[in-house]
Structure 1
């Protein structure tokens, strides 16, 4: 059975979103994407999902967007940048290569620009957990509604089969003499 659930929470200029999608599958295949700051909660979230969702290929996507004032800044390692830049200039001179985009290239090197780690407090986790619970409830509600539609469809098909079966039973005694 397919399913979909989405929950959004906006709290103190921080937006939490949890989206749960599933497709039919015999076993539970859980793909969980969450911000690195909440990676310590991954096992807990997996356990919650496996208790509530028995089977299916399930994708859970969790996003946290912080407002401008909540963002941590980036730091440029000037010493490392300078060292890389000088080395590339020397190599370019010896090869006679174009050196117009050296700075752009150096900025993409590892550890030249580092970003401050997000700080997560228990309040953030509580809000995320609440948002996750709402998304899971919406997901289960979607699946229940889909199950009801399937049930109604199957009941209609069973009714049609029984009706046709009754018609066949009436015609059966007439069929055999017609064949002879």
Structure 2
């Protein structure tokens, strides 16, 4: 048995990324998975959801994936040779123009631009360098993320199992309490008819005073009332539901929804028993039985 509440966390460092995965869940009627991850890794979302679906059948599950670069290997810097060559060509053309000017004007002083290509010069040239992010291979990234996700999901499932065992023990305790109260009601039911017969006998005796009370008529009347207030079927079904519930507690399959339905049926049988009850002791027991069922209902809301 598993709870729908769980948490798991795992981290790993690869050559390029610090990878961290966190998984946590709360109660939900069905399985609802949401994934938070960097936009550039959005292609991993469906794969992550598939992994979650293999480990959980109910609950609102949130997965958080962090991918932090750990080295400059995620970035490349390249010199744009075409841009540099264009600048050099422009300088050479200017030198040719200046030479022609000197040839046409003998009074002009010779002048030549020297292409001094030092690092500082290159860094001042616009667009001489191109900075690019290294493209990730989706298959390679998933191969790195999947083991971290698997470890986080393992912790997540273990926590859900631990919490599920605690819920199982608590539900089993309340089932035992409910079963004991059901046994007590069964023991009191025969007394209900007898009490009604005695009250009816005393009432008729008082009304008829000294006249003889017809015994057969009293028995018939008591039998009619006994049929109306009989709760044998309700108690038999309640015992059956309790036994079935114990079977669910030992099941390896998700049984939360089945338990929820069964609790409704148990509550219906107890309500019917209470409405038919003619004895104060049974009425008190019914109140306590409904309290135990409510405690069970509260716990199974968190069972997968």
Work out whether the TM-score is over 0.5: yes
CA contact (8 A) 1:37 1:120 kept: no
Q: 1:25 to 1:118 in 2, by over 3 A?
A: farther
Q: Output the CA distance in 2 between the equivalents of 1:120 and 1:160.
A: 60
Q: Does the CA-based 8 Å contact 1:37-1:117 persist in structure 2?
A: no
* 2:55 equivalent to 1:39: no
Report whether the alignment pairs 1:120 with 2:123: no
Aligned residue number for residue 195 of structure 2: 177
Structure ranking higher on relative contact order (CA contacts 8 Å, 6+ apart) = 1
Secondary structure, in 3 states, of the residue corresponding to 1:137? helix
RMSD: 2.9
Q: Please tell me whether Structure 1 or Structure 2 has the larger radius of gyration of its CA atoms.
A: 2
| Correspondent of 1:133 among 150, 154, 163 | 150
Normalised TM-score (structure 2): 0.40
CA distance, structure 2, for counterparts of residue 151 and residue 164 of structure 1: 20
* Structure 1 Cα separation of the partners of residues 38 and 177 of structure 2: 51
CA contact (8 A) 2:29 2:59 kept: yes
Equivalent of 2:176, from 150, 159, 165? 159
Residue 61 of structure 2 is aligned to residue 58 of structure 1: yes
Structure 1 unmatched runs, 5+ = 74-114
Give the Cα separation in 2 of the matches to 1:118 and 1:49.
Answer: 30
- Secondary structure, counterpart of 1:46 in structure 2: helix
The structure with more strand, counted as a fraction of residues: 1
Q: TM-score, normalising length from structure 1? A: 0.63
Q: Which sections of structure 2, spanning at least 5 residues, go unmatched?
A: 77-130, 200-304
User: Is 2:21 the counterpart of 1:18?
Assistant: yes
Aligned pairs, number: 139
Structure that is richer in helix per residue:
2
SS of match in other structure, 2:54: helix
Q: CA deviation at 1:6?
A: 1.2
